[in-house]
Each structure stands twice: as C-alpha cells, then as structure tokens.
Amino acid sequence: MPFQNPSDEEIRQFLLSIHHIAVVGLSPKADRPSFGVSAIMQKAGFHIIPVRPYTNSVLGETAYASLSDVPSKVDLVNVFRASDQIDAIVDEAIQLQIPAIWIQLGIINEAAAERAQAAGLFVVVNRCIKIDYLRLCL
C-alpha cells in the first residue's frame, strides 16, 4: 500500500501542537523557497532551527551542521533536500527520536516515509508546511 499523508485535520492538530522546527537545507539566500517558507513560519511564532553545514546562521538563528548537532528540543524536521538524501535524514530523525518529519512539496521518497511512519513518526510528504499552516491553522 503506498504511503498516505495524514488527514487535513490531523495535520492541523499537529501544527497547532508544535513549536520547534529544524529545517534541513535552510538556505541563507532570501530568494530560495526554504528561506521564504521558514521566514513565514518564524513570523507565525515557530522557533526555526537551521540545519545546514558551512553556515553560521539563518533568519537570526544559529545554524547546525546536522540534526545530531542541535542542542535543543526539535518537534519537527522540515526537509528541503533532494529525494535521494531523504533516507539519511529519516534515519537520523529516527535515531534522535524526533517525533515528526515533513518532506517538502516536490520531494518524494515513499520508502523513507514509510520507514519513518513505521518507527512512529508523524510524517508528511510532498506538501508545503507554509501552505498547509496558512490554509489549515489561520
């Protein structure tokens, strides 16, 4: 059976319950989708934690090279990386017992999503967190 995203109501309840979002692949460039999406989520009150090697900070927040380097609580990993890089990110999220992973619009890796879901993570694939937050929560 192919991977299926949670219902809109489940996504809405989830988004209303979290605060700390680690964004893997958050670009420091303002013209990149990861920057724009994260800036809006930050303005909505979420704590954005940039995860991007070789970057000191993004959106005024300290950046970390990997999820394992993040010293604070993470409620959700929001992923802006190519589908062939999702497996390693999912594995790290599972190992760190992060409760949820959101794989952004246009990025699909069903096997990794199913593995994360089987490990108990809340998983959303091929959807934009900004669009869903604005549509479902405001």
pLDDT of 125 reads 97
Q: Identify whether the C-beta of residue 28 lies closer than 8 Å to the C-beta of residue 58.
A: yes
Whether the model clears a pTM of 0.85, i.e. scores above it, the answer is yes
Closest CA to 43 of 53, 35, 55: 35
**Phi then psi for 22, rounded to 5 degrees?**
-85, 125
Say which residue the tokens 């192919």 belong to: 2
Task: Encode pLDDT of 61-109 as tens digits.
Answer: 999 999 999 999 999 999 999 999 999 999 999 999 999 999 999 999 9
**Predicted pLDDT at 100:** 98
- Domains of the chain in start order, with CATH, are 8-137 (3.40.50.720)
Report how far residue 41's alpha carbon sits from residue 112's, in angstroms, rounded to the nearest whole number.
25
Max CA pair span of the chain: 42
CA nearest 104: which of 84, 85, 129? Answer: 129
Tens of pLDDT, residues 31-61: 999 999 999 999 999 999 999 999 999 999 9
Angle in degrees, CA 55, 61, 66, rounded to 5: 50
How crowded is residue 10: how many other Cβ atoms within 10 Å of its Cβ?
12
Q: Are 107 and 126 in contact, with CB atoms under 8 Å apart?
A: yes
List Cα–Cα distances, 71 to 3, 13, 67, in angstroms.
31, 26, 9
